[in-house]
Structure 1
Amino acid sequence: MLRFLELEICQDLFSEAEDDDSKSLTCAEWEILEELANLLQPFEEVTKSLSYNESCISEVIPTIKTLHFCLSQQKVSSPLAFFKADLESNLKKRFEDLESNINFTMSTFLDPRFKTVFFSTNCFVKIKEYMEMTLIKDDNEANDNVNTIPMKEDSGNLQDALKEIIASSHTKSCTNLILEAEIDLYLKQELLNRSSPTSKWWEKMKGIFPNLSKLVHRFLSTPSSIIYNERLLFRIRKYFGQ
């Protein structure tokens, strides 16, 4: 479409040479076409951004919300008003459940370029709850203790059981307090530059945020799309002549 707009003068000259105005667009039609190109421009930028080799799943929520914002700010003439409204409606419907997916929300939060910028308060609360449960579960599994109190069948000592319950509760409380401190410190750090690699930032900061860094490998390693994988498979097939 942009290429066609660039050929506007050529199209007009061709119509004049052919002496046939029916082969040329009117001024109003050119204006609508240019307006449509501007309206769809953010979609092209989003497609390119999320198709990048190093693009991560953490970029999806910020990108979609930014796209919503761009569309809401776009002013269009009456011929394109219905098209724009339909575009916004379908975009909202397609991604309305994005924040309910813990993979997207966790990866966005753990990305030092975004953190909580694109989240509501309720969503952030759910993220914290999930992190607490995940880290406690990981600690329990590391200690061969899966949220149950081991009881000896030949022992009826309630005092021992009570001590184990208290110890388990104490472990959970300590984990929550440590995690709260890490999250507070993490949020106080300046946002990373948009073009800076997140992997290098976390490599440098993993000693300061040991608990959060455990989750980074799990959530910041997923690509935002399968395009790069498809490119790689295409090159492999081409290499082996298949």
Structure 2
Amino acid sequence: MIERFLELEDAVKSTLATIDRDLPKITSEEWTILKELCQILKPYESITKTISGEKYCTAALVTPMCQGLKNVHQKLSAQHFSDAVKHSLIRLFNGFENRLGNVGKSKTLQTVTFLDPRFKSMVFGNSADDVKKNTTNLLSQRIAEANRTAEVSANDQFSGDSDELSIWSDFDKTVATTQPQGSYTSIEVQRYLEDDILPRNKESLQWWNSHKIIYPNLAKLAQERLCILASSVPCERLFSKAGMVITDRRNRNKEKKANMILFLNSNHHYVEGEKK
């Protein structure tokens, strides 16, 4: 709103000059304050729009964007602004620190950002090794669980006995706990880190789709984690769409049909992309 008002500065000044009514005048100092406010609010507008997306990975962007916002704040603090704007800048940053100051410590967001080939461990600084270790451990746990499930299923089909009564039960448990999964997952994670960084304007999900054969276990983990949303905005959009579908004139639509319509409405861009 402020930006649009500044675009109309000449028109506003001309209009106020021709009106005979006793209206409050906007001084040159106030115009300067508006321009400075627009400048310091620009980064917050950018991050809000980006985090509110729904057609790309948003949770992976939280950590690097928050760090970028801190860097921008330091640059803005070094510039010369009026006292009112400086006070607004301080309050903005204090509010940011109170709400998102510890966002980098979230293990969920750390894993998501690490699995994004555009960032990997580049944004974690001194804690990069810890994030790598946590992701490797998480990957090892998933592989071990998948192996145990596969072994139990295969043993049930082969013997027809339950796990507790099977003569191979103790042996299978011992094998499952002694499989050297750690070294394999460490190699896969290290190869992933040594691969080229994906340009920031590229799509990370497409990258994983083309590299799922090279990093099979990491690709499964990325498929599970990269779908995490950074905000509730996409969900709120879906509720708005539901209000347009489920109306008084469509009150005979059943739940299954309404769900199908909303699903198609939310995913039509993927279908159009495949057709192209």
Tell me the TM-score normalized by structure 1. Answer: 0.82
Once residues 188 and 117 of structure 2 are traced to their aligned partners in structure 1, the CA distance between those partners, rounded to angstroms, is 13
**Which residue of structure 1 lines up, in the alignment, with residue 3 of structure 2?**
2
Of 144, 147, 171, the residue aligned with 1:142 is 147
Is it true that 1:239 corresponds to 2:265 in the alignment?
no
Of 127, 136, 147, the residue aligned with 1:131 is 136
Once residues 105 and 136 of structure 1 are traced to their aligned partners in structure 2, the CA distance between those partners, rounded to angstroms, is 17
**Which residue of structure 2 lines up, in the alignment, with residue 46 of structure 1?**
47
Corresponding residue SS for 1:42: helix
Corresponding residue SS for 1:143: helix
**Which residue of structure 1 lines up, in the alignment, with residue 87 of structure 2?**
82
Once residues 143 and 191 of structure 2 are traced to their aligned partners in structure 1, the CA distance between those partners, rounded to angstroms, is 22
Once residues 203 and 96 of structure 1 are traced to their aligned partners in structure 2, the CA distance between those partners, rounded to angstroms, is 33
Alignment of 1:70-109 (within 5 A): 70-74=72-76, 75=79, 76-109=81-114
Is it true that 1:221 corresponds to 2:222 in the alignment?
no
- The structural deviation recorded for 1:122 is 2.4
Of 96, 110, 116, the residue aligned with 1:111 is 116
RMSD: 2.9
Runs of 4+ that moved beyond 6 A: none
- The structural deviation recorded for 1:78 is 2.8
- The structural deviation recorded for 1:199 is 1.4
Once residues 22 and 69 of structure 2 are traced to their aligned partners in structure 1, the CA distance between those partners, rounded to angstroms, is 38
1:132 and 1:175 in contact (8 A); partners too: no
Once residues 41 and 176 of structure 1 are traced to their aligned partners in structure 2, the CA distance between those partners, rounded to angstroms, is 45
The 1:209–1:14 alpha-carbon spacing in structure 2 relative to 1, beyond 3 Å, is: same
Of 58, 82, 85, the residue aligned with 2:60 is 58
- The structural deviation recorded for 1:133 is 4.4
Corresponding residue SS for 2:185: helix
**Which residue of structure 1 lines up, in the alignment, with residue 252 of structure 2?**
none
1:113 and 1:193 in contact (8 A); partners too: yes
Once residues 24 and 142 of structure 2 are traced to their aligned partners in structure 1, the CA distance between those partners, rounded to angstroms, is 69
1:51 and 1:227 in contact (8 A); partners too: yes
Which whole-Å deviations, capped at 9, do the CAs of 1:118-155 have from their partners, x for residues lacking one? 1133254144234324423541453259xxxxxx99x9
Which whole-Å deviations, capped at 9, do the CAs of 1:27-86 have from their partners, x for residues lacking one? 121111100001001111111111222242111111211122122211233332222122
Question: Residue 207 of structure 1 aligns to which amino acid in structure 2?
Answer: I
Q: How many residues align?
A: 229
- The structural deviation recorded for 1:5 is 0.8
Once residues 77 and 121 of structure 1 are traced to their aligned partners in structure 2, the CA distance between those partners, rounded to angstroms, is 37
Once residues 178 and 246 of structure 2 are traced to their aligned partners in structure 1, the CA distance between those partners, rounded to angstroms, is 58
1:107 and 1:216 in contact (8 A); partners too: yes
Once residues 66 and 239 of structure 2 are traced to their aligned partners in structure 1, the CA distance between those partners, rounded to angstroms, is 27
**Which residue of structure 2 lines up, in the alignment, with residue 149 of structure 1?**
none
**Which residue of structure 1 lines up, in the alignment, with residue 36 of structure 2?**
35
Once residues 21 and 39 of structure 1 are traced to their aligned partners in structure 2, the CA distance between those partners, rounded to angstroms, is 32
Once residues 84 and 123 of structure 2 are traced to their aligned partners in structure 1, the CA distance between those partners, rounded to angstroms, is 32
The 1:49–1:188 alpha-carbon spacing in structure 2 relative to 1, beyond 3 Å, is: same
Where structure 1 has 5 or more consecutive residues not aligned to the other structure, the ranges are: 146-151, 156-160
Question: Residue 104 of structure 2 aligns to which amino acid in structure 1?
Answer: E
Identity of aligned residues (%): 25
Is it true that 1:192 corresponds to 2:198 in the alignment?
yes
1:182 and 1:209 in contact (8 A); partners too: yes
- The structural deviation recorded for 1:106 is 0.4
Once residues 82 and 189 of structure 2 are traced to their aligned partners in structure 1, the CA distance between those partners, rounded to angstroms, is 46
Alignment of 1:167-186 (within 5 A): 170-171=178-179, 174-186=180-192
**Which residue of structure 2 lines up, in the alignment, with residue 67 of structure 1?**
69
